[in-house]
A and B are shown apart, each in its own frame.
Chain A
Amino acid sequence: MADVALRKVVKRYDDVEAVRGIDLDIADHEFIVLVGPSGCGKSTTLRMIAGLEDISDGDIMIGGDIVNDVPPKDRDIAMVFQNYALYPHMTVAENMSFGLRLKHYPKAEIKARVTEAARLLDITDLIDRKPKQLSGGQRQRVAMGRAIVRNPKVFLFDEPLSNLDAKLRVQMRIEIKKVHQKVRTTTVYVTHDQVEAMTLADRVVVMNKGRIEQIGTPNELYHKPATRFVAGFIGSPAMNFIPCRLEDVGGTLQIRLTDRIAFPLPPARAARYNSLPRTDKLLLGLRPEHLTESHAHLEPGVETFDTVLDVTEPMGMETLVYFGLEGTPVCGRVNPNAGAKDGAPMRLAMDLNNMHLLNEATGAVL
């Protein structure tokens, strides 16, 4: 067990910088998820921790030791790959014990460890099969088993669930979480799926274009995103960004969305945003669940407006409604019984208590 630290880690390929200076401290036993769109450098970062890629600059430490030049086998890490990378000519047991056999562990200990890992992952019955005879989910378990038997300092997962179908992915997600709760090994997990990141992580690291956008617990990222990228990336359907500006009308601070639509800000928000220049181009960030159907008893800070819906998507427990505000597509979530229809007018309520205000130019959340 060990902590992992990255200090100004840079990765250059010829003249392209894939990772541009990453600082990250991962505590012992922590489950960290690196998440971001493809090409954001998350996999490269993981592979540098694993030692599969040389680092161009900076330091990587595992358990307090700089491991920059330590070959992967001596870093005491284990990795689970997207396509499982099981050795096709070996049985499940042989796959799991390969690393131990290379290190000449005693036969009895190898057997004990494999049995223990197989029991933990519920694959005891499959131990003598070849990977070809296994389903995707079973292969995934074996790949995890291969990591567990090594009892390494750090687990590295590289998009391990991407090759599974949606249902199995949810199941394996829970499985991974359970295993981590049992073995408590420091884990770095890479995914492009923000749901996976939110559900698995102790802390999520959102990456974009080779840099870290924000590090935080899932709730922090959801409710207090630091940048427009994080705000838009976390949450599904994504947060709406509506162009707006601030104006003073009769002593109260108003937010103006269109010529016709403007709302007074709730007092707490007004105090926070009062110092902003009125000329700035701003974006109102609002999650779809804070844009609902209007009803009789509205809380303070919830304002209503009328619009014409473009498209509605009934999801069962809720209905997603799409409409435009001066050309900006906006999504809201309404009660399935609220009577939303394609092309029909509807009165919606906007919960400004949960609004975010962003600078359009810098993307910073104010």
Chain B
Amino acid sequence: MADVALQPNRVGAAQPARKRSSLQKALKRKSTAAFLMTLPLIILITLLVLYPAFYSLHLATLNKSMQRFVGLGNFEFLFKRDTFWLVVKQSCIFAITAVLFKALIGFIVAHFVHNIPAKGQRKWRGMLLVPWVIPPAMSTLAWLWLFDPSYSAFNYTLSFFGIGPIPWTGDAAWARFSVILVNVWYGAPFFMIMYLASLKSVPDQLYEAAAIDGANWWQRIWYVTLPMMRNIIAITTLFSLIVTFANFDIVRILTAGGPLDHTHIFATWAFRIGIEGSDIPLGASVSLFMVPILAIAAIFILRDVNKRGNEA
């Protein structure tokens, strides 16, 4: 059988000139096959991600009926509106506060889970990750019901302590708090899981060596745990910053931007203007303002992920 396979090659050996070109052909075949295998991916990314992304740059320069080029007119218009600056401020407050608390809670909970005997960890981890598993649109409905102005289960409970009733979604400050609370509830488990995985990858010998060197509990966290986890903390935080900054579901369902636009963030406001208000160019302009901060976070993530790849 092998002899048969070798037959054509005897001919090839007699013609050394042809042998290189057939090798090139073989190489070409491999890269052609590879290209074909990635082609659907390339088409998808080009047509449905890259093209719309650049198209939105074009859209942002049109007027409402999309028939006239207005240049930077949409941006000028936005800069003059107080609501826009309110949205910018709220997006930043929302994203930074939420990510900070998610990271902090995630870190603490991860340590508690890591502290208990390995046998029980699975069970706790399983329970604590539930908020991340439920579709946010569904769980936010439950929060909406918990925050209900007349039937709030929280206010019912708090009334026994003589507190409230609290206007969870009715008052601007409380509504911001509620939106952040729900986001922290939803996102903290992700941090917890990432930190837990990273905690488990710190070799025990390091802690034993630190303990022998006389490090106390706090010093061990500061000098062993945190440096070992630094990369994962950075990546997780940046990931979460992007997702939180671009969040739509929670604000949309919980407050729909209200009261009086005081909880709108970029995504919800862009939806209100672009889809509900049918001013697609202005909506596109609003969402474009997310690009700089997303790009910065993405660059840092890429750097860290590559660094991680090189270490491994």
Binding site for B on A (CB under 8 A): 54, 59, 65-71, 74-76, 103, 153
* Closest A residue by C-beta to B18: A69
Q: Of the 9-residue stretches B2-10, B105-113, B153-161, which lies at the interface with chain A?
A: B2-10
Partner of A65, one of B1, B10, B22, B26: B10
A54 touches B9 (CB 8 A): no
B6 touches A65 (CB 8 A): yes
Q: CA–CA, A153 to B2, complex, Å?
A: 9
* Closest A residue by C-beta to B27: A54
The answer to the question of B13 belonging to the interface, with a C-beta cut-off of 8 Å to chain A, is yes
Chain A residues, CB < 8 A from B1: 103
Partner of A66, one of B2, B5, B9, B26: B9
Chain A residues, CB < 8 A from B6: 65, 67, 70, 74
Q: CA–CA, A65 to B10, complex, Å?
A: 7
Chain B residues, CB < 8 A from A65: 6, 9-10, 13
Q: CA–CA, A103 to B2, complex, Å?
A: 11
Partner of A76, one of B2, B12, B26: B2
The answer to the question of B19 belonging to the interface, with a C-beta cut-off of 8 Å to chain A, is yes
Chain B residues, CB < 8 A from A71: 26
Chain A residues, CB < 8 A from B5: 70, 74, 76
Which 8 A-B residue pairings sit nearest by Cβ, starting from the closest? A76-B2, A66-B13, A74-B5, A65-B6, A69-B23, A70-B9, A69-B22, A69-B19
B23 touches A67 (CB 8 A): no
Q: Which of A68, A71, A76, A153: most chain B Cβ within 10 A?
A: A68
How many B residues have CB within 8 A of the partner chain?
A: 13
- The dominant DSSP class at the A interface is loop
Question: 18 A-B Cβ contacts within 8 A?
Answer: A54-B27, A59-B13, A65-B6, A65-B9, A65-B10, A67-B9, A69-B9, A69-B12, A69-B22, A70-B6, A70-B9, A71-B26, A74-B2, A74-B5, A75-B2, A76-B2, A76-B5, A153-B2
Chain A residues, CB < 8 A from B26: 69, 71
Q: CA–CA, A103 to B13, complex, Å?
A: 26
Q: CA–CA, A66 to B7, complex, Å?
A: 11
State the Cβ distance, B25 to closest chain A Cβ, in Å.
9
Chain A residues, CB < 8 A from B12: 66, 69
* Closest A residue by C-beta to B6: A65
Q: CA–CA, A284 to B241, complex, Å?
A: 71
Q: Which of A54, A74, A103, A153: most chain B Cβ within 10 A?
A: A74
Residues of B10-51 at the interface with A, using a CB-CB cut-off of 8 Å, are 10, 12-13, 19, 22-23, 26-27
Q: CA–CA, A66 to B20, complex, Å?
A: 13
Q: CA–CA, A68 to B24, complex, Å?
A: 12
State the Cβ distance, A152 to closest chain B Cβ, in Å.
8
* Closest B residue by C-beta to A2: B2
Q: Which of A69, A71, A103, A153: most chain B Cβ within 10 A?
A: A69
Residues of B40-82 at the interface with A, using a CB-CB cut-off of 8 Å, are none
State the Cβ distance, B181 to closest chain A Cβ, in Å.
46
Q: CA–CA, A261 to B6, complex, Å?
A: 64
State the Cβ distance, B7 to closest chain A Cβ, in Å.
9
Type the 1/0 row for B245-279, where 1 means its CB is closer than 8 Å to any CB of A: 00000000000000000000000000000000000
State the Cβ distance, B50 to closest chain A Cβ, in Å.
32
State the Cβ distance, B9 to closest chain A Cβ, in Å.
5
Q: CA–CA, A76 to B12, complex, Å?
A: 18
Q: CA–CA, A54 to B24, complex, Å?
A: 11
* Closest A residue by C-beta to B22: A69
* Closest B residue by C-beta to A61: B13
Q: CA–CA, A70 to B22, complex, Å?
A: 10
Chain B residues, CB < 8 A from A59: 13
Chain A residues, CB < 8 A from B23: 54, 68-69
Q: CA–CA, A203 to B64, complex, Å?
A: 84
Chain A residues, CB < 8 A from B13: 59, 65-66, 68
Q: A66-B12, A74-B6, A76-B5 are in contact. List 12 more A-B contacts (CB 8 A).
A: A54-B23, A54-B27, A65-B9, A65-B10, A68-B13, A69-B9, A69-B19, A69-B23, A69-B26, A70-B5, A103-B1, A153-B2
Q: CA–CA, A69 to B13, complex, Å?
A: 9
Q: CA–CA, A135 to B110, complex, Å?
A: 36
State the Cβ distance, A67 to closest chain B Cβ, in Å.
7
* Closest A residue by C-beta to B21: A69
Q: CA–CA, A70 to B1, complex, Å?
A: 14
* Closest B residue by C-beta to A75: B2
Q: CA–CA, A67 to B12, complex, Å?
A: 10
Q: CA–CA, A38 to B55, complex, Å?
A: 55
Q: CA–CA, A76 to B22, complex, Å?
A: 20
Q: CA–CA, A114 to B6, complex, Å?
A: 26
Q: CA–CA, A68 to B5, complex, Å?
A: 14
* Closest B residue by C-beta to A63: B6
Q: CA–CA, A54 to B6, complex, Å?
A: 17
Chain B residues, CB < 8 A from A68: 13, 19, 23
* Closest B residue by C-beta to A103: B1
Q: CA–CA, A251 to B238, complex, Å?
A: 86
Chain B residues, CB < 8 A from A66: 9-10, 12-13
Q: CA–CA, A68 to B9, complex, Å?
A: 9
Q: CA–CA, A68 to B2, complex, Å?
A: 15
Chain B residues, CB < 8 A from A70: 5-6, 9
Q: CA–CA, A67 to B23, complex, Å?
A: 12
State the Cβ distance, A360 to closest chain B Cβ, in Å.
43
* Closest B residue by C-beta to A62: B6
Q: CA–CA, A59 to B12, complex, Å?
A: 12
* Closest A residue by C-beta to B1: A103
Q: CA–CA, A71 to B12, complex, Å?
A: 14
Chain B residues, CB < 8 A from A54: 23, 27
Q: CA–CA, A153 to B12, complex, Å?
A: 21
Q: Which of B9, B19, B23: most chain A Cβ within 10 A?
A: B9
Chain A residues, CB < 8 A from B10: 65-66
State the Cβ distance, A293 to closest chain B Cβ, in Å.
46
Chain B residues, CB < 8 A from A153: 2
State the Cβ distance, B84 to closest chain A Cβ, in Å.
54
State the Cβ distance, A155 to closest chain B Cβ, in Å.
15
State the Cβ distance, A150 to closest chain B Cβ, in Å.
10
